[in-house]
């Protein structure tokens, strides 16, 4: 299952708020980013997990100078 589907199933209220935030941004904020922002607003104790997933994995970086 995709991450978005898991989020909708496990935390529907957070997902709904994130979806609204993503829609209101007119495409400038992805659902993933909106979900993390919304989650941190409601659950500040999860702040250490905010950056998880925002950093590219080594295999995703094409430019060796960027590593």
Residue 55 lies in a domain: no
The answer to whether residue 65 is domain-embedded is: no
**Separation CA 40–CA 57 (nearest Å):** 23
Count of residues for the chain? 67
Is the separation of the CB atoms in 15 and 8 below 8 Å?
A: yes
Q: Average model confidence (pLDDT) for the chain?
A: 78
Q: Is 38 exposed, middle or buried (0-12, 13-18, 19+ CB in 10 A)?
A: buried
Task: Count the domains in the chain.
Answer: 1
pLDDT recorded at residue 67: 45
How confident is the model over 45-49, as a mean pLDDT? 80
Task: Output 59 or 45, whichever has higher pLDDT.
Answer: 45
pTM score, two decimals?
A: 0.65
Residue 61 has pLDDT above 60, yes or no: no
In 1-67 the beta strands, taken as DSSP E runs, fall at none
Is 56 inside a domain boundary? no
């Amino acid at each position: 299952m995709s991450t978005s589907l898991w989020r909708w199933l496990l935390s529907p209220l957070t997902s709904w708020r994130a979806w609204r935030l993503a829609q209101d941004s007119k495409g400038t904020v992805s659902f993933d980013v909106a979900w993390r922002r919304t989650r941190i607003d409601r659950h500040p104790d999860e702040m250490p997990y905010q950056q998880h997933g925002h950093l590219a994995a080594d295999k995703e970086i094409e430019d060796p100078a960027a590593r």
